[in-house]
Amino acid sequence: MADFVLELKAITKTFPGVKALDNVQFQLKPGEIHALMGENGAGKSTFIKVITGVHPPNGGEMLLGGTRVDFKNPNEAKRAGIAAIYQHVTCYPDLSVTENIFMGHEKIHHGTKRIRWHAMHEEAQRLLTELGAGFDPKSQMGALSVAEQQIVEIAKALSMDAKVIIMDEPTAALTKRESEELYRIAEQLRDQGKSIIFISHRFEDMYRLASRVTVFRDSKYIGTWEVDEITNNDLIVAMVGREITQLFPKNVPRIGEELLRAEGLGRTGYFADISFKLHRGEIVGFTGLVGAGRTEVFQTIFGITAYDRGELYLKGEKVAIKDPLEAMKLGIGYLPEDRQKQGLVLDWEIGQNITLPTLDRFVTKGALDTDKEAAVAKTLAEKLNVKAKSIFDLVSSLSGGNQQKVVFAKLLTADLDILILDEPTKGVDVGAKSAIYDIIRGLADQGYGIIMVSSEMPEMLGMCDRITVMREGRITALLERAEATQEAILKASMASGGASG
């Protein structure tokens, strides 16, 4: 028996003009959960694609159980016992759970070639029970939550007798409770002798689960450590390549006049009794579990949907906002939660994206003045330090953090007083996160009133002057900076019974 289930030596993968992996190594022990970390673009995804046979490497070798393997396609990797589970589950939403589990390796009657539905359902049920899932294998895949779909993917891996399971940012779309459930399953699999490669941006995931951690940076292997033996700071240095002295900027709020006041806002079926105040220069946080109604409240205030109860006051005057254009004219900007779907036109240039909300300003004699437009876009892109060759680069070519800076730039072209930032650092790596925190604090210092919606406890505590906690569409706590603690927020976001799973 080899020491390692999976060992990769000196793997190099080049695409024309790009070295995506440069002499990278990796060792996976049997029955181990091994975290793989690195900033976006560090080469993690390419590495996974090499292991799963999507991209055959240009150099180096891969040993599975001590013998050399050369996968030419994903099917060979699957048959050899390697399975990958992705953050965005790649499933057939209209088919049943059973069909999804057995897709591509259905149980077939030897003589008649008929599909053995009964046996498949039974096997699926057995796998799901083993994983502690409560749903029926006959239910439709699309009707399940993301967390449940991931469990189905894990069941699929088990049904193919996978020895190595790769989880690519599985917790990114999960709530705290669902993440706990996933941790439990991962540990259960480990105890059964499976080996797991766990990719995540969350340090929490790594500390909770992994025994060892490997870090990649700029397509290179940086090192592997026992998790207990490396400090958080050293790990960040390994990932970023420089010391981030302080993740959150110093906070000296200068609170000014009242900008926005909500009184008893409600939308039937979504939220009720939402009252809060926002002042100039202040950052007010809204947190709570996913589904607590935070996004719904602020999309209503931005005019995407309508509220049916309560009143909204802007600088003391009552307003009714019918669409986003009016909200922006009144000085309210919104940075949406999903930057790819709601924030950007991915196939467009950086500059065109930046000016989309304020096109009317660049009109000379009825026509769009593209020189004027480019000048403004360039200034803003530089101000926010968007890393690109020019503002004519396509947004789709940028990393997540730089894409998010473009969405910020869109807000700065308008004359706004109030910025509503919905999960401003979602899917962004550590280095870019710190840059975005600086941007947000800078904007507050310039006199913007900022509402920050986030599920991430550390950034709530680090950034906000006040924190509002929501649960099931209602505000359950309003905490001043001094009294805000992780415990207090958790207590207010969980169900009143206190019990959670």
Instruction: Kindly list the residues in this chain that would bind other proteins in the complex (CB under 8 A).
Output: 15-16, 18, 218, 302, 304, 323-325, 327-328, 334, 336, 341-348, 352, 356-357, 359-360, 362-363, 366-368, 374-375, 378, 381-382, 386-392, 410
Q: In angstroms, rounded to a whole number, what is the distance separating the alpha carbons of residues 57 and 42?
A: 16
For the bound state, the minimum distance from the C-beta of residue 42 to other proteins, rounded and expressed in Å, comes to: 12
The first and second tokens of residue 402, run together, are 């730089």
Q: In angstroms, rounded to a whole number, what is the distance separating the alpha carbons of residues 151 and 146?
A: 9
For the bound state, the minimum distance from the C-beta of residue 402 to other proteins, rounded and expressed in Å, comes to: 10
Given the complex with other proteins, which of 257 and 369 has the nearer CB atom? Answer: 369
Given the complex with other proteins, which of 367 and 499 has the nearer CB atom? Answer: 367
For the bound state, the minimum distance from the C-beta of residue 446 to other proteins, rounded and expressed in Å, comes to: 21
Given the complex with other proteins, which of 90 and 370 has the nearer CB atom? Answer: 370
Q: Please list the residues that pair with 224 across neighbouring strands.
A: 214
Given the complex with other proteins, which of 343 and 400 has the nearer CB atom? Answer: 343
Q: Which of 168, 170, 138, 164 is nearest to 151 (CA)?
A: 170
Given the complex with other proteins, which of 112 and 245 has the nearer CB atom? Answer: 245
For the bound state, the minimum distance from the C-beta of residue 388 to other proteins, rounded and expressed in Å, comes to: 6
Q: In angstroms, rounded to a whole number, what is the distance separating the alpha carbons of residues 288 and 205?
A: 19
Q: Please list the residues that pair with 33 across neighbouring strands.
A: 196
For the bound state, the minimum distance from the C-beta of residue 67 to other proteins, rounded and expressed in Å, comes to: 31
For the bound state, the minimum distance from the C-beta of residue 409 to other proteins, rounded and expressed in Å, comes to: 12
Instruction: State the DSSP code for 216.
Output: E
Given the complex with other proteins, which of 246 and 390 has the nearer CB atom? Answer: 390
The first and second tokens of residue 15, run together, are 């695409």
Tokens 């053995």, located at residue: 116
Given the complex with other proteins, which of 11 and 344 has the nearer CB atom? Answer: 344
For the bound state, the minimum distance from the C-beta of residue 401 to other proteins, rounded and expressed in Å, comes to: 13
Q: In angstroms, rounded to a whole number, what is the distance separating the alpha carbons of residues 143 and 162?
A: 26
Given the complex with other proteins, which of 158 and 239 has the nearer CB atom? Answer: 239
Any idea of the CA torsion for 308, 314, 317, 319, to the nearest 10 degrees? -30
Q: What are phi and psi of 483, to 5 degrees?
A: -95, 0
- The number of beta carbons lying within 10 Å of the beta carbon of residue 308 is 11
Given the complex with other proteins, which of 228 and 347 has the nearer CB atom? Answer: 347
Q: Is 297:338 a contact under the CB 8 Å cutoff?
A: no
Per-residue CA distances from 458 to 91, 154, 454 (Å): 33, 30, 10
User: For residue 447, is it left (φ>0), alpha (ψ between -120 and 50) or beta?
Assistant: left
For the bound state, the minimum distance from the C-beta of residue 366 to other proteins, rounded and expressed in Å, comes to: 7
Please, which contacts does 105-112 make with residues 24 or more away whose CB atoms are closer than 8 Å?
Answer: 105/159, 105/160
For the bound state, the minimum distance from the C-beta of residue 368 to other proteins, rounded and expressed in Å, comes to: 6
Given the complex with other proteins, which of 103 and 359 has the nearer CB atom? Answer: 359
The SS3 of residue 290 is: coil
Given the complex with other proteins, which of 382 and 480 has the nearer CB atom? Answer: 382
Q: Give, for 276, the enclosing helix (H) or strand (E).
A: strand 271-279
- The number of beta carbons lying within 10 Å of the beta carbon of residue 180 is 15
Q: In angstroms, rounded to a whole number, what is the distance separating the alpha carbons of residues 56 and 265?
A: 56
For the bound state, the minimum distance from the C-beta of residue 370 to other proteins, rounded and expressed in Å, comes to: 8
* Residue 35 C-alpha from the chain's centroid: 17
Pairing mode of beta strands 258-267, 271-279: antiparallel
For the bound state, the minimum distance from the C-beta of residue 238 to other proteins, rounded and expressed in Å, comes to: 16
Q: What sign results for the dihedral spanned by CA atoms 480, 482, 488, 489?
A: positive
Q: What sign results for the dihedral spanned by CA atoms 48, 49, 53, 56?
A: negative
Q: Is 404:432 a contact under the CB 8 Å cutoff?
A: yes
Given the complex with other proteins, which of 287 and 403 has the nearer CB atom? Answer: 403
Q: Is 57:21 a contact under the CB 8 Å cutoff?
A: yes
For the bound state, the minimum distance from the C-beta of residue 357 to other proteins, rounded and expressed in Å, comes to: 4
Given the complex with other proteins, which of 26 and 307 has the nearer CB atom? Answer: 307
For the bound state, the minimum distance from the C-beta of residue 339 to other proteins, rounded and expressed in Å, comes to: 9
The first and second tokens of residue 305, run together, are 């949907």
Tokens 């680090």, located at residue: 462
